[in-house]
Amino acid sequence: MSASEQVVSGMLEELSREYDLDTTCYSFAGREYSFVSVRDSYALLDRISPEDFMKDEQMPYWAEIWPAAVILSEFILEELAVTNKRIIEIGAGVGVASIAAASVGADVLSTDYSEEAIKFIRLNAGKNNVALNTDRLDWRFIQLDEQFDVLFAADVLYERTNLLPIIFAVDKLIKPNGCAYIADPRRRLAQQFLDLAFENGFSVTSHAKSFRKSEQTIPVNIYRLSKTRGGIQS
């Protein structure tokens, strides 16, 4: 066993003592990937103290692999040229889209609010033999000064209170000529998000996709935001 395999094995063993793990394999653009997530994210609700929930109402959404993340990963590999691009993913969960981008030569910073998610991103990066950086990031209070060529996010438009903070995060984190791709399973809040994006100086285009598993089909839209009208003005 190589040194890198030993590191991955150690991380997997450590997380297996704390979580009931599940491993899922995907094929994106002819490339094979394997991701570890939590088998039942609802089981993690008991780990959230009433005090922590009252503070920011954070739910363990990070622990699952959502269809929007799978579709975004396919889109990255099949339709975008991200090699050598400086990329950030917000709300990365277990890191599916981040790892897809890093696997084709993107320079990726993969972020999530949850410290637990960061552990899974690092494990999954190791499992898939890709190099990326990780950091905890609260999109309501962006502390990073760096700006990126591209921002990715999947299934983050689930709370109305998140919409404007995500708009401001996109504006702060992408370069003036950069763009963001946000994948969403056509939630009702998505249209409100798009209205806010336009009101705050973004141009938006949409790509309609579908996630298919067995007999189930879930529609997913990928929204591209760019600052062609100057972005948010202070």
**CA torsion angle for 79, 33, 1, 94 (degrees, to 10)?**
100
Residue 39's pLDDT is 87
Residue 193's pLDDT is 97
Domain ranges of the chain: 3-41+48-226
Mark the ranges of the chain whose per-residue pLDDT is less than 50: 54, 231, 233-234
Residue-wise burial string across 66-98, b where 16 or more C-beta atoms lie within 10 A, e elsewhere: bbbbbbbbbbbbeebebeebbbbbbbbbbbbbb
Which class does domain 3-41+48-226 fall in? alpha beta
- Each residue of 144-189: pLDDT tens digit? 999 999 999 999 998 999 999 999 999 999 999 999 999 999 999 9
Residue 54's pLDDT is 46
Give the global pTM. 0.92
Residue 91's pLDDT is 96
Residue 233's pLDDT is 44
Q: How many CA atoms lie within 13 A of 220 on its CB side?
A: 26
